[in-house]
Amino acid sequence: MNNSIAILGAQWGDEGKGKIVDLLTEKCDIVVRFQGGHNAGHTLVVDGKTTVLHLIPSGILHNNVKCIIGNGVVLSLDALSEEIEILKENNIDVNNQLIISNGCPLILPVHIALDKAREVKKGKAKIGTTGRGIGPAYEDKISRRGIRLGDLSNDRELFNKIEELLDYHNYILKNYYNSETFDPEKMCEKLISQYDFYKGYIADVPEYIENAFKDNKRIVFEGAQGTLLDIDHGTYPFVTSSNTTVGGIFTGSGVSPKKLDYILAIVKAYTTRVGSGPFMTELFDENGKILSERGHEFGATTGRERRCGWLDLVALKRSIIINGFTGICLTKLDVLDTFKKIKICTEYKDDKPIYEDFEGWNESIEGINKFSDLPKNAQIYIKKIQDYLNVPIDIISNGPGRNENIILNKKFS
């Protein structure tokens, strides 16, 4: 395996990134999250037991692996401590494994209030955010008004910063949104009390990663959300507020692009999306229902029903241009097992998707771990995707479990 791999969502999130990060971490030393926040929900199924992670990198179930939260992640201290406690209850040695950058911007209760108030105000035009305060927290970072984890070490200055921040937001909450305001003293007190819990996890992340490379350690960079939710390259304004694409790795963790030697696209064998925004291949018929039910397409964070549709190769081609993917991991292929006919979108015409039809395989592919054992029609479907995108399919995932895969590139076996 290469020394460093990026694992990124190529669609609108929930492609199965968490599962694949967990799988490939078997042979790695470090997993780094570099953007997003607890809007993410990454599901790992190991020996029949399900773990859903939101902020903690998906390498945490391997007890020798260090899990880093880089400066590009917006951090809710409440959400993270909850996640840490659950893992500790399950005998995960989080104290020994987790490392956090002191540059992480904090998600404060005021950000959550703003996120929710805005969505209400937008009414039908809402983005359908996760309501986790992600957008407002990133805005405060960019406006240079934000509080970072490292700021909690200086009580006096912290109070001044919070006062300034709340002075601004309280005005808007009260006068524009007509909603409740926040008290700087209380907020400051709570943050200071939380710092004790967190200070032991803080490290200089760029230096840590640099030293790890020098020691020939293997590193996985774990993306959250997906390419089409990227703030710059996604379906704006129906996007999240971070760079979910490859560039986010470098700014969000402090590593040089020269250090990255493999970029893996996680591609779901069909398409899903949570929240509002365009979705060219969305299905409103029985087929959409089957995808939803067979794929258990409900959000791992908010429980919302995911919108479902056929695979969109036009959108994926765009995703490949932006990220320069080295290889593809095709997930949830088993969800298509029961279809008699399957469609793939290969073109847009007059703002409508043009499909190519494929015969389904109509049998279970559960338990198969060799490409040649797959039904012929499944092989044809996979080859079409690979030929169109001109990127090798290196892994096929045919079940939620850690070991339910077909590994095609021996780098990963």
Query: How far is CA 235 from each of CA 15, 82, 232, 280, 288, rounded to the nearest angstrom?
Result: 17, 32, 9, 11, 21
319 makes contact with ligand GDP (CB under 6 A): no
Stretch touching ligand IMO by CB under 6 A, among 67-75, 156-164, 166-174, 221-229: 221-229
Stretch touching ligand GDP by CB under 6 A, among 143-151, 338-346, 377-385, 396-404: 396-404
6 makes contact with ligand IMO (CB under 6 A): no
To ligand GDP, the closest distance from the beta carbon of 11 in angstroms equals 9
To ligand GDP, the closest distance from the beta carbon of 300 in angstroms equals 4
397 makes contact with ligand GDP (CB under 6 A): yes
Q: Choose, from 22, 38, 42, 151, the residue flagged as catalytic.
A: 42
350 is catalytic: no
> Of 95, 200, 184, 115, whose CA–CA distance to 147 is shortest?
184
CB 102 within 8 A of CB 136: no
Binding ligand GDP (rule: CB under 6 A), the pick from 300, 328, 365, 395 is 300
**Exposed, middle or buried, 213 (CB in 10 Å: 0-12/13-18/19+)?**
middle
334 makes contact with ligand GDP (CB under 6 A): yes
- Which residues within the stretch 46-65 sit at the binding site for ligand GDP (CB under 6 A)? none
Q: In what order do the strands lie in the sheet with 341-349?
A: 311-312, 341-349, 352-359
42 makes contact with ligand GDP (CB under 6 A): yes
| Partner that binds at residue 334, options Mg ion, ligand IMO, ligand GDP, none, CB closer than 5 to 8 Å by kind | ligand GDP
- 330 membership: H or E segment, kind and range: strand 327-331
Binding ligand GDP (rule: CB under 6 A), the pick from 10, 19, 25, 323 is 19
335 makes contact with ligand GDP (CB under 6 A): yes
Query: How far is CA 126 from each of CA 131, 159, 339, rounded to the nearest angstrom?
Result: 11, 33, 34
CB-CB neighbours of 367 under 10 Å: 11
**Exposed, middle or buried, 408 (CB in 10 Å: 0-12/13-18/19+)?**
buried
233 is catalytic: no
Q: Under 8 Å CB-to-CB from 407, ≥6 apart: which residues? A: 369, 394, 395, 413
Task: Please give the radius of gyration of the chain, using alpha carbons only, rounded to the nearest integer.
Answer: 21
Angstrom distance (rounded) from CA 327 to CA 157: 47
To ligand GDP, the closest distance from the beta carbon of 403 in angstroms equals 11
> Of 67, 75, 71, 81, whose CA–CA distance to 34 is shortest?
71
Angstrom distance (rounded) from CA 358 to CA 380: 8
35 makes contact with ligand IMO (CB under 6 A): no
The identity of residue 71, as a single letter, is: N
The identity of residue 372, as a single letter, is: S
Stretch touching ligand GDP by CB under 6 A, among 39-47, 175-183, 234-242, 377-385: 39-47
Q: Under 8 Å CB-to-CB from 77, ≥6 apart: which residues? A: 106, 191, 194, 197, 198
Binding ligand IMO (rule: CB under 6 A), the pick from 4, 11, 35, 39 is 39
| Residue number with CB closer to ligand GDP (19 or 62) | 19
| Residue number with CB closer to ligand GDP (151 or 394) | 394
Stretch touching ligand GDP by CB under 6 A, among 36-44, 92-100, 184-192, 280-288: 36-44
Taking residues 258 to 297 in sequence order and writing x for each that binds ligand GDP by CB under 6 A, - otherwise, the string is --------------------------------------x-
To ligand GDP, the closest distance from the beta carbon of 301 in angstroms equals 8
To ligand IMO, the closest distance from the beta carbon of 126 in angstroms equals 9
Query: How far is CA 46 from each of CA 50, 84, 293, 301, 397, rounded to the nearest angstrom?
Result: 7, 18, 22, 19, 14
> Of 37, 35, 11, whose CA–CA distance to 277 is shortest?
11
The identity of residue 48, as a single letter, is: G
Taking residues 249 to 288 in sequence order and writing x for each that binds Mg ion by CB under 5 A, - otherwise, the string is ----------------------------------------
229 makes contact with ligand IMO (CB under 6 A): yes
| Partner that binds at residue 331, options ligand IMO, Mg ion, ligand GDP, none, CB closer than 5 to 8 Å by kind | ligand GDP
Binding Mg ion (rule: CB under 5 A), the pick from 7, 10, 14, 253 is 14
CB-CB neighbours of 266 under 10 Å: 28
> Of 119, 348, 345, 121, whose CA–CA distance to 238 is shortest?
119
User: In the complex, which residues of this chain contact ligand IMO (CB under 6 A)?
Assistant: 9, 12-14, 39-42, 127-130, 132, 134-135, 224-226, 229, 240-241, 274-275, 300
Q: Which parts of this chain interact with ligand GDP (CB under 6 A)?
A: 9, 13-19, 41-43, 45, 296, 300, 331-332, 334-335, 397-400
Known catalytic residues are 14, 42
